Structure 1
C-alpha cells in the first residue's frame, strides 16, 4: 500500500482533527497514565534545581498550566504539540509551549518526567519517539505514555504481535498490555530491531473509539 511520510501524515485530517487530548485537565492525565503527575514531580526534586516535566502532544496545555501554578518555581515544564492551540494568553513563567512535530523536536536538557497522553496514536514513527524519550530522561526519570501495540504493523500487513511486545521488554521498556501503556524508569539507550517505513491514516478507530494511525515497520533481525 501507499504509506505516508511524516510531512504528509501531519497534513492528514485524522491527525489534524484528533480530539483525544485537546482539552484534558490534570485529573484526566492522572487517570489515563495511572500516575499522579504532581507527586511524580515532587518525588524527583533535588536541592538547588527545578524538577523538569516534558509533555508530548500537550493539546491546549491545561494540565501543564495547572501543575505550573501548583508547583511554581519548583518546576520547569515544556509542552510540545503539532498545532498551536494552547490556552492563554497569560501563562506561568515556568511553562514553555512549543509548536513542533515531536518526531523532529529535540530538547536541550533531560527531564524528570516525560508523558504523552494518547498522542502516540497519531504519530508515524512512534517507536522513534519512544526511543528518544527514553534517552531524554534523567537517571531516575520516568517516561509514561498511552500506547497500542496493535497499531504497529509489519511490512507484510500483519500486526507485529507478541514478538514485538517481547522486543519492547527486551529493550528495557515496560508495556502494560491490558492498560495499553508503555513506560521506562531511568535514562536508557533503547535499541529496537525495527525500521520505520511509513504510516497509514486509514486504520479506523482504535481502542479509544477515535480514528487512529497505523505505523509500518520492517523487522530487522
Structure 2
C-alpha cells in the first residue's frame, strides 16, 4: 500500500472537499458531541475560550459568539478557507491552517472536533497535541473512530489502543464513537505514525474517510500534568 504523508494527504480531494462539518450549526454540534456547547461554556469562568478544530464554515461558532458576546473568545481552525460571515463578531477568529502543525497561543476551556479527525493523518499525534492545549480544568470532546487506526499489516489497533488511551485518562465510547478527557495532559501512546490511506472508503458516517497507519513501539509511561 502506498501511504501518504500529511502534506500529500492534505492535498487529497477526500480531505480538502470533505463535507462532514461544512455547514453544521449549534444544534448539530450538541447532538454529535453529546454536550450543550453554549451551556458548557457558560458554566466556566469569564471570559471563556473555545477552540473548534476542522470547523468548516464556522456557522456554529458564529452562533455561539452571538449568544455569548464578550464572555467568550472563540477560535475555529480549518484546512480550507470556506468560512461564512465576512463580518464576524470581534471575539471570533477563524484560521486557515492544518491541525497537524497549527499552534495556539493560550490554553482553552473547551476544545471540540466534529467529525474532523476522520480526515487527519496522524490522528494520535493530534490527540497528543490537543492534550497540551487545554486549561487545567478544560474539556475536550470529538468524534473518533478507533477502527481508523491501523497497524502496518492493515489490522485495526483495536483493544490495545483503547486500553492505552484509557490508561491515561482518555474516555472513548465505542457506541457513540466519541473521545474526550478533562484537563491538560501529556499523552504518550506506544505508536509511531507511518502514513495514511485516503482510499479507505466510507466509515461509519457513510462518507469517505482516512485510515491512519502506525507501528507499535515499546510502551511509554503516561505523564499527566
TM bucket normalised to smaller: over 0.9
Matches within 5 A, 1:97-176: 97-176=94-173
SS at match of 2:199: strand
- Aligned partners of 1:23 and 1:62 also within 8 Å: yes
Greater Cα offset, 35-44 or 115-124:
35-44
Matches within 5 A, 1:6-21: 6-21=6-21
Which residue in the other structure is 1:58 paired with?
55
RMSD between aligned alpha carbons?
0.7
Name segments (4+ residues, structure 1) moved above 2 Å: none
> Structure 2 CA distance, aligned partners of 1:172 and 1:197?
25
5+ residue gaps in structure 1? none
5+ residue gaps in structure 2? 219-225
Paired residues in the alignment total 218
| CA distances 1:34-61 after superposition (whole Å, capped 9, x unpaired) | 0100111111124xxx100000000000
> Structure 1 CA distance, aligned partners of 2:155 and 2:192?
15
SS at match of 2:93: strand
> Structure 1 CA distance, aligned partners of 2:29 and 2:131?
19
Q: TM-score, normalised by structure 1?
A: 0.97
> Structure 1 CA distance, aligned partners of 2:199 and 2:20?
17
Task: Kindly indicate whether residue 210 of structure 2 is the aligned counterpart of residue 210 of structure 1.
Answer: no
1:173 Cα deviation from its structure 2 partner = 0.6
- Aligned partners of 1:172 and 1:190 also within 8 Å: no
1:93 Cα deviation from its structure 2 partner = 0.3
> Structure 2 CA distance, aligned partners of 1:107 and 1:70?
24
Q: TM-score, normalised by structure 2?
A: 0.96
